[in-house]
A and B are shown apart, each in its own frame.
Chain A
Amino acid sequence: MITLRNLTKRYGELTAVDGLDLEVRAGKVTGFLGPNGAGKSTTMRMVVGLDLPTSGQALIGGRRYADLRWPLREVGALLDAKAVHPGRSVRAHLLALARSNRIPVRRVDEVLETVGMGKAARRRAGGLSLGMSQRFGIAAALLGDPPVLLFDEPVNGLDPDGVRWVRQLMRSLAAEGRTVFLSSHLMSEMQLTADQLVVIGRGRLITDTPMRELIAGGSSVSAVCPDPAGMAALEARLPGARAVSRDELRVPGVTTRQVGDLAYELGVRLHALRENEVSLEQKYMELTEHAVEYGAAR
């Protein structure tokens, strides 16, 4: 579990992270969203002790990162896939990390197999594509088999196959009971991957909500009805319903079952009955509307 308590980071005048209080729980994938400059990377860097908080705390299982005896066995964090010595081989980089935390050397080959880089072990890190670098970075994060994992934009540069692989990996890591804290700008991907969503803007928490609730809020049911009379009859019985086209009625806050039962009761003919989910992207845009730091004019 990751706990942030009033976490704050200032650079002179600029407040990058502003009194963030948060609990990232084990056993699920927590998505971390926010516009560019919202403070996501800075927050993650403070969790692993790379940046020092101006005030407040970032704790892992109740302890500061610097107090962990073998930190790579407790927290795996991929923050910057390209941050490796370009001349060092993939295997040597992982070997040095393993030795630093007394992780058995066989784990190096195991994680390379896990990320599909078994054959690339001897390649120099500088020669890897961005996608390969992401896999390499994920391997490094997994090296110590840690219960807490942080990934900053891990799908950048991955091909569709890789994106899917990352999604499945995140899901399975969470299913094993680990804490998975994941940032990404790919909304559709996040919608498929995360259980919980944390959105920040200008360093402040905007929301911390289960994905299901976030998307359900604002969902509606559409009934496609060919007879104007039937449509009017339905509309009269459903509060808040409105016709969005000649033959489509949109009803907020009900289930398809309720509308279907009502149509049957009234003897109204239906051609379609479906749930309209709000996409995460729509919801995200609404939430961050006022918190975009670097936005194009609209």
Chain B
Amino acid sequence: MMPELRAAVAAEWTKSWSVRSTWGTLAASAVLMMMVSAQLGIAHENNNTNEITTDDTGVTTAGAIAIESFAMMQLVLFTVAILTVTSEYANRSIGWTLQAVPVRGRVLAAKAAVLAPVMFVAGAAMCLLGALAARPLLGDWGTLDGLAYDAFAMGVYSAAGGVLTAGLALVLRSTATTLTALFVLLMLLPLMLGAAGSPAADFFPSTAGDHFMSGDTGEYPLAVALLIVLAWTAAAALAGLRLLKARDA
């Protein structure tokens, strides 16, 4: 790595961990993940043991429960990535960021270089925490099979999603707008298109990510699922970079 980029990464790292919002949002994500996973674990166990037989889904893995929870609360985790960009616009400290590192591409690269590993570890940890919370509640109806892959895949998806989010945040600059856009992109649109039976629903980052994490090859191979996620990530990052270069700070 070029020394200039390494220095920029060090600065972004220092900035990330010197504000409470990073710690707070990560902690909130972890707590929420465990709560939702526990809830889903109870529901799954209940479905299999209650009088009704039509809702029985049989034995599942704790990892699958975690992946299902993650689909619902991923926005909370991605808020970490939103804030690394939008907080700087909100309090205008973006001025210092660009004075220190005037090469816009390097600013984005440094932010991505911090976000990707942090989000990878956070995503993998969330998977493990979710599984941990769900496993005892699943009773006889859950296993820990494939958890290593699930955690790895959730880490990869989170890392890509974090960079995607940062790119989107560079385009939109405001926390509320970015969060709304992300909600529409990751949840609302794929859900609506899916309900309407449109095949386009499978090409959104969240649905492709879900296929990738659950090892679901029904629509396309896992490599393609990952490529779809990465393509969205690259597109958002490039859009963010373009506007970062073109607009006044």
Q: Which residues of A contact B (CB under 8 A)?
A: 45, 48-52, 65-66, 68-72, 75, 77, 79-80, 82-89, 92-93, 95-97, 99-102, 140
Pick the residue among A69, A82, A85, A99 that contacts B19 (CB under 8 A).
A85
Once the chains are docked, how many angstroms separate the CA of A82 from the CA of B92? Answer: 8
Contacts of A84 in B (CB 8 A): 91, 93, 96
Given contacts A69-B4, A102-B3, contact A96 B102 (CB under 8 A): no
Number of interface residues of B (CB under 8 A): 29
Asked whether, in the complex, the Cβ of A89 is within 8 Å of the Cβ of B99, the reply is: no
Asked whether, in the complex, the Cβ of A83 is within 8 Å of the Cβ of B15, the reply is: no
Asked whether, in the complex, the Cβ of B10 is within 8 Å of the Cβ of A99, the reply is: yes
What are 5 contact pairs spanning A and B, CB under 8 A? A75-B99, A85-B93, A88-B19, A99-B10, A140-B96
Once the chains are docked, how many angstroms separate the CA of A96 from the CA of B88? Answer: 14
Looking at A70, A86, A88, A99, the one whose CB has the most chain B CB atoms below 10 A away is A99
Given contacts A84-B93, A88-B18, contact A101 B7 (CB under 8 A): yes
Asked whether, in the complex, the Cβ of B95 is within 8 Å of the Cβ of A100, the reply is: no
Pick the residue among A52, A66, A80 that contacts B95 (CB under 8 A).
A80
Task: Tell me if B248 is interfacial: C-beta within 8 Å of chain A.
Answer: yes
Asked whether, in the complex, the Cβ of B18 is within 8 Å of the Cβ of A100, the reply is: no
Q: For chain B, what secondary structure do more than half of its interface residues adopt (helix, strand, loop), or is it mixed?
A: helix
User: Contact string, B212-249, partner A, CB cutoff 8 A, digits 1/0?
Assistant: 00000000000000000000000000000000001011
Q: Which residues of B contact A (CB under 8 A)?
A: 3-4, 7-8, 10-12, 14-15, 18-21, 87-88, 91-93, 95-96, 98-103, 246, 248-249
Given contacts A83-B92, A83-B95, contact A100 B7 (CB under 8 A): yes
Once the chains are docked, how many angstroms separate the CA of A82 from the CA of B101? Answer: 19
Asked whether, in the complex, the Cβ of B100 is within 8 Å of the Cβ of A71, the reply is: yes
Asked whether, in the complex, the Cβ of B18 is within 8 Å of the Cβ of A96, the reply is: yes
Q: In the complex, how many angstroms separate the beta carbon of B119 from the nearest chain A beta carbon? A: 20
7 smallest beta-carbon distances between A and B, as pairs: A100-B11, A92-B18, A83-B92, A100-B100, A99-B10, A96-B14, A51-B248
**Nearest A residue (CB) for B14:** A96
Pick the residue among A69, A72, A92, A140 that contacts B14 (CB under 8 A).
A92
**Nearest A residue (CB) for B95:** A83
Given contacts A50-B248, A96-B15, A99-B11, contact A87 B21 (CB under 8 A): yes
Q: In the complex, how many angstroms separate the beta carbon of A253 from the nearest chain B beta carbon? A: 47
Q: 16 more A-B contacts (CB under 8 A) besides A80-B92, A99-B7?
A: A48-B99, A48-B102, A50-B95, A50-B98, A50-B99, A52-B248, A65-B102, A69-B4, A85-B93, A86-B91, A89-B18, A95-B18, A96-B11, A97-B11, A101-B7, A102-B3
Pick the residue among A52, A65, A66, A83 that contacts B93 (CB under 8 A).
A83
Once the chains are docked, how many angstroms separate the CA of A69 from the CA of B3? Answer: 10
Asked whether, in the complex, the Cβ of A68 is within 8 Å of the Cβ of B8, the reply is: no
Pick the residue among A68, A88, A92, A99 that contacts B102 (CB under 8 A).
A68
Once the chains are docked, how many angstroms separate the CA of A294 from the CA of B165? Answer: 41
Contacts of A72 in B (CB 8 A): 99-100
Pick the residue among B12, B19, B92, B100 that contacts A87 (CB under 8 A).
B19
**Nearest A residue (CB) for B94:** A83
Contacts of B88 in A (CB 8 A): 85
Contacts of A68 in B (CB 8 A): 102
